[in-house]
Amino acid sequence: MLYLWLKAFHIISIVCWFAGLFYLPRLFVYHAQSEDSVSKERFSLMERKLYRGIMGPAMIATLIFGGWLISLNPSGYFSQGWMHVKLTLVILLIGYHHMCGAQVKRFARGENKRSHVFYRWFNEVPVVFLLAIVILAVVKPF
């Protein structure tokens, strides 16, 4: 029963984390398009609160619950190739998360050098991660 509770909380954490990973770059698009100081300050505040208040805790919860799940059956998971690929993608996703955090700080300092078009493409990165991770976890192709 513990396993099912952990799995449920792991999935809830993933959903919250990805909600932030999808929304924060969208805020970057709008922030990069804004021209007045009131809008720029508002977007900086929204970005900071989303990153620190939702995305960070959700990422940590995802990692804790995922690690706990693995600890219940380490040899079963680590003997499967799909898990190695999934964990590699999770590590890369953590890097993307931190890239978002660095961008939040650049926007807050008024140092953004990229256009809204860049952020529209940047916004698609977590979609690719989500598709790959879910397919690996459900289909377990190898």
113 annotated as a binding-site residue: no
Please state the domain extents for the chain: 1-139
Rounded Cα gap, residues 105 and 109, in angstroms: 6
Q: What is the DSSP string of 106-128?
A: HHHHT-----HHHHHHHTTHHHH
Rounded Cα gap, residues 28 and 49, in angstroms: 14
pTM: 0.95
Tell me which amino acid residue 21 is. L
Rounded Cα gap, residues 58 and 13, in angstroms: 5
Which pLDDT tens digit goes with each residue over 97-136? 999 999 999 999 999 999 999 999 999 999 999 999 999 9
- Looking at the predicted structure, is the pLDDT value of residue 74 above 90? no
Q: What is the DSSP string of 46-90?
A: HHHHIIIIIIHHHHHHHHHHHHHHHHHSHHHHHTSHHHHHHHHHH
10 annotated as a binding-site residue: yes
